[in-house]
Amino acid sequence: MLNAAVISPQPMTRIAMQREAMDHPEHGVRIGTVATTVPQFLAQGGTEPTVVLLSMRTEDGRTLAQNVADLVAHEHTVVMLTAPAEVLRVRSALAFGASGAVCKCESLRTVFRTLRLTRQLGHFLSDRIQVALADLPSRAPAKLSRREREVLGLYVDGMQEQEVAAELHIAESTVEEHLKRIRRKYALVERPARTKLELYKRAVEDGIIPPVLPLA
């Protein structure tokens, strides 16, 4: 029996997964811990390696990169639960360390199957996710470090360089150097980010911040 956890801000998602697991043991999955956020899950004792079904969207202001990184740091296998409109961010979640993904529009049977196969194979995407990703244009990752993602997220979210420095307790010159490296890395993969708006677009594309403004 596979031990799994569910992290989602939607109560019905958590309830439905627990009920399905209890009513249908043939899925071979037991839903233990459920939580609204990643910090809540970890605070509840979610430190033993397990398979975590993680909602793509949370309501606590944390980024996708932060959530996936924190779970992977505790050796959890992360499977993303995504809406059809958010498939673009699945690619970013995989780059951050997620191991699998399934669409919330798919059957619960498919969700449980994805959890099992991701654990068994180390990497698995549901058929719907595979098709959706295949239809996306290719986009090489910029391979930003965790600190670079933090700087970029704060900067494009409206902070000035000195404010980013104060928030992260680093020198303003260090922030400026991070931004230079970020722009160079995007340029190397032919995804220019010369202006702040272009940096914002790259941050949204890579799941560092959720989309707020249209990307046209």
Res 51: pLDDT = 95
Which phi and psi (to 5°) does residue 215 adopt?
-95, 10
- Tokens for 74, please give them: 């505790």
Nearest residue to 53 (alpha-carbon basis) of 128, 1, 124? 124
Which phi and psi (to 5°) does residue 78 adopt?
-100, 125
Global confidence as pTM: 0.68
Please give the average pLDDT of every successive group of 10 residues along the chain, which has 216 residues. 93 92 92 93 84 89 87 94 83 86 93 94 91 73 89 92 94 94 88 89 84 48
Beta bridge pairs of residue 2:
29
For the beta sheet containing 29-35, the strands, ordered from the edge strand earlier in sequence to the opposite edge, are 29-35, 2-7, 51-55, 77-82, 100-103, 124-125
Residue 162 contacts residue 172 (beta carbons within 8 Å)? yes
Res 134: pLDDT = 75
**Distance between CA 165 and CA 58 in Å, rounded?**
26
Res 176: pLDDT = 95
